Amino acid sequence: MGRLIRMLSVVAACLLTTAARGEESCANPRQMQGFRTCADVDKAKQEGSLVVYSTDPEAASESVLAEFHALFPEIHTTYFRLQGGALYAKLLAERQGQAYLADITQLADMSFALDFQKRGGYMHYISPELAAYKPNFRSTPDGYWTWGALVVAGIAYNPNLVPADQAPRNWPDVMDPKWADAISVKVTISGLQHTTWYMLRQLYGNDFWKKLAPSRPHAFDSYVQQFDRLVNGQDKVAITAQYSGYLLMKAKGAPVEFVYPPDGLVATPQPWGIIKEAPHPEAARLFMDWFLGVPGQTVNARFQCNYSARDDVDPPPGGAKSSTFKLLTPTDWKAFEQSHAAYVREWDKLTGMR
């Protein structure tokens, strides 16, 4: 009897360890068109709807969802966008009021994703596609959130207003007073701005951003606004300029140039996960499998021009391989999460929000 108990304990420990590593999803994932799923596809079709909360621009996101809808026309998709901080506040307020409206969320800021996981906000679901993602691109334990995209940012400028030999070449160059009243950043509730603030302080010291205050930077919610202002001549330089925005504008022939600072480009992940109380759980599982698979990641790179965390997905159209970049990404996410309050205080003050 004692030997049997010990054997059962070993088996149980192995099963728990395997589940924690995410090596098992369902016993027999269903092969779809380019991806595998553990969702009940028939039930997902019966649910008939999918609601996504995200920080990505509306037009590109609706194009991504249209590709999913084309594959599963029975499932109608709804998209809602806010910047990271505002979106998380909305999500928490809805949960407090027991209004569970969203199926999928992408919060853009890892500090929000980590906090949401602590609150038990994510559904636990180990996608069959999870094995294609490196362990540090997934939640601990597996099955709560996954890096659905990597957003890369550097410096952009209008070459009609700034000669190439006078443009910034590295991050400290943007502190030059000559950019006063002609430089833009992103607002405090941007997850990408939080990462930029955090990484450049690590690189150049805690007083780095104070040098930008005399230039009175303009702060915007979206990279679309930043690049529109560059093209229209309202600003000359943009910091935390998304590479995706540059690729989209350059493809249209807009007068924008991108600077690849030799000290590195900032890169922030987009954690995607299913809401625990998702009103359409099978449709959410099906979408997550598609999105994390090669088809969804390819579509996302095409329309959003962000990078996939998968090694088997091509870079966005016109973009170089991410392996050619030196990327600045936090490695201590606990410290990053703990920095959020200090970041909000400094960035609100810098951008005139208080």
Average pLDDT, stretch 192-218? Answer: 96
Q: How confident is the model at residue 226 (pLDDT cuts 50, 70, 90)?
A: very high
- Tokens 């490695």 appear where? 331
Q: How confident is the model at residue 136 (pLDDT cuts 50, 70, 90)?
A: very high
Average pLDDT, stretch 38-46? Answer: 98
What tens digit of pLDDT does each residue of 283-326 get? 999 999 999 999 999 999 999 999 999 999 999 999 998 889 99
Tokens representing residue 68 in the block: 């999913």
Any bridge partners for residue 239, and if so which?
155
The model's pTM:
0.87
Q: Greater confidence, 7 or 130? A: 130
Tokens representing residue 232 in the block: 């229209």
Distance CA 21, CA 134 (A): 11
Delimit the domains of the chain by residue range: 30-150+269-319, 151-267+324-350
Average pLDDT, stretch 206-216? Answer: 95
Helix pair 110-118, 191-204: axis angle to 10 deg: 110
- pLDDT of 353: 62
> Above 50 in pLDDT, residue 278?
yes
- pLDDT of 21: 39
Distance CA 34, CA 40 (A): 17
Contact 226, 153 (CB under 8 A): no
Q: How confident is the model at residue 24 (pLDDT cuts 50, 70, 90)?
A: low
- pLDDT of 15: 38
Residues across the chain: 354
Distance CA 230, CA 12 (A): 59
Per residue, what are the HEC states of the chain?
CHHHHHHHHHHHHHHHHHHHHCCCCCCCCEECCCCEECCCHHHHHHHCEEEEEECCCHHHHHHHHHHHHHHCCCCEEEEEECCHHHHHHHHHHHHHCCCCCCCEEECCCHHHHHHHHHCCCECCCCCHHHHHCCHHHECCCCCCCEEEEEEEEEEEECCCCCCHHHCCCCHHHHHCHHHCCCEEEECCCCHHHHHHHHHHHHHHCCCHHHHHHHHCCEEECCHHHHHHHHHHCCCCEEEEEEHHHHHHHHHCCCCCEEECCCCCEEEEEEEEEEECCCCCHHHHHHHHHHHHCHHHHHHHHHHHCCECCCCCCCCCCCCCCHHHCCEECCCCHHHHHHCHHHHHHHHHHHCCCC
> Above 90 in pLDDT, residue 222?
no
Who contacts 134 (Cβ-Cβ below 8 Å, separation ≥6)? 309
> Above 80 in pLDDT, residue 265?
yes
- What architecture is domain 30-150+269-319? 3-Layer(aba) Sandwich (3.40)
* CATH number, domain 151-267+324-350, options 2.60.40.420, 3.40.50.720, 3.40.190.10, 2.102.10.10: 3.40.190.10
Identity (one letter) of the amino acid at 55?
Answer: T
